[in-house]
Every structure is written in structure tokens, then in C-alpha cells.
């Protein structure tokens, strides 16, 4: 039986912290699907298609990882993809309360699905998509915080016309 894990999130955009969690999960599971949530209510900077394309390019070197998008109930998507586990990242105690609540609710909705928490490398614990967007918006250097393709896309998105064309 193939062990499939789903790593859901907004990924607006993918950071090196997310990527660190993906790499760790890829060692434990036969296949990891990075599932990008539509999340229109969060008014994402990147469209769903852009976020999926950015993840796909950044994980191209990991043969057992792919990106997909989903809308609606996560547990239904997990079951539809025949996965048994949800992967979530824990950066600090501040993440814990929300993640704990989410994991228990998902277990209530489908008790066959387990949530696995992974801690990123300590140097990535301060990283969030929100903070990276804020730094980029203010003209700060985001090298080392996001994959190269995400950096290019962010610069292009925030200063159209001033960086190389963003092609995905």
C-alpha cells in the first residue's frame, strides 16, 4: 500500500520553511501532495494557479512530491486522494493551539486520518508567508527565505516591470 501524505496550506507564497517540512515529509512517505487551498477569504497575493505553479517548480527536484489545489473540506480531499495523513508544520508554541484544534476537528470529521506535525530547521522557525511578503513589499532582501522562483515572482508581483518577466 502506497503511503500518501497531504500537506495543506495557503502557500501564499511557499517559503523555505514550508519547503523544509516538505523535504522531511518526503523521506517518511511514498508520496507527498502539497495541497494549496483556495482561501479567497484571506485575499491571497498570488492566484491559486500561481501558487500551485510556484510550488511545482520549487519541488521539481523531489520525485515523490507534487502540488495540487483543493477547495472545500480538507478531510474529503484527503480521502479522495487515498491519503492517510495530513502534514502540518509547527514553528513555535504560538502555532500549537490552532493546529491542535484543527487536528482534533479533522479527526472528528474522519477518524481514519492522522495529522503529523513536523518542526522545521530552527533557522526557519521565524518564517511566515505574511512576513516574507511584508519584507518584500518594503524593499527588503528575501534571499534565503524563499526558493529562487518564488523570489522572482514576488519581485515581479510587487514591482511590475522592474524584474525579469515571471513565467510559470
Active-site residues, by number, are 18, 42, 91, 129
Please say whether the beta carbons of 150 and 54 come within 8 A.
yes
Tell me how crowded residue 5 is: count the other CB atoms within 10 A of its CB: 27
Q: Which one, 18 or 84, has the nearer CB to ligand ADP?
A: 18
Report how many residues bind ligand ADP under the rule CB under 6 A. 16
CB under 6 A: which stretch of 27-35, 85-93, 147-155, 157-165 binds ligand ADP?
85-93
Determine which residue in the list 5, 15, 52, 54 makes contact with ligand ADP, applying CB under 6 A. 15
User: Rule CB under 6 A: is residue 129 a binding residue for ligand ADP?
Assistant: yes
Q: Which one, 9 or 147, has the nearer CB to ligand ADP?
A: 9
Q: Which helix (H) or strand (E) holds 106?
A: helix 93-109
DSSP 40-79: GGG--SS-HHHHHHHHHHHTTT-TTEEEEEE-S-HHHHHH
Residue 133 CB, shortest distance to ligand ADP, in Å, is: 11
User: Rule CB under 6 A: is residue 10 a binding residue for ligand ADP?
Assistant: yes
Give the orientation angle of helix 129-137 with respect to helix 148-158, to 10 degrees. Answer: 50
Give the orientation angle of helix 148-158 with respect to helix 48-58, to 10 degrees. Answer: 150
* Contacting positions for ligand ADP (CB under 6 A): 9-11, 15, 17-18, 21, 88-89, 91, 95, 120, 124, 127-129
Amino acid at each position: 500500500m502506497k503511503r500518501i501524505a497531504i500537506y495543506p496550506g495557503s502557500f501564499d507564497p511557499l517559503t523555505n520553511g514550508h519547503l523544509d517540512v516538505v523535504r522531511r515529509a518526503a523521506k517518511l512517505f511514498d508520496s507527498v501532495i502539497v495541497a494549496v487551498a483556495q482561501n479567497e477569504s484571506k485575499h491571497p497575493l498570488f492566484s491559486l494557479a500561481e501558487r500551485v505553479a510556484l510550488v511545482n517548480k520549487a519541488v521539481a527536484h523531489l520525485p515523490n512530491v507534487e502540488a495540487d489545489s483543493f477547495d472545500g473540506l480538507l478531510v474529503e480531499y484527503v480521502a479522495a486522494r487515498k491519503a492517510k495523513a495530513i502534514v502540518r508544520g509547527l514553528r513555535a508554541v504560538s502555532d500549537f493551539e490552532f493546529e491542535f484544534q484543527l487536528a482534533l476537528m479533522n479527526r472528528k470529521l474522519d477518524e481514519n486520518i492522522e495529522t503529523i506535525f513536523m518542526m522545521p530547521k530552527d533557522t526557519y522557525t521565524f518564517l511566515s508567508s505574511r512576513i516574507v511578503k511584508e519584507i518584500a513589499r518594503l524593499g527588503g532582501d528575501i534571499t534565503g527565505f524563499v526558493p529562487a522562483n518564488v523570489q522572482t515572482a514576488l519581485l515581479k508581483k510587487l514591482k511590475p516591470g522592474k524584474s525579469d518577466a515571471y513565467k510559470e
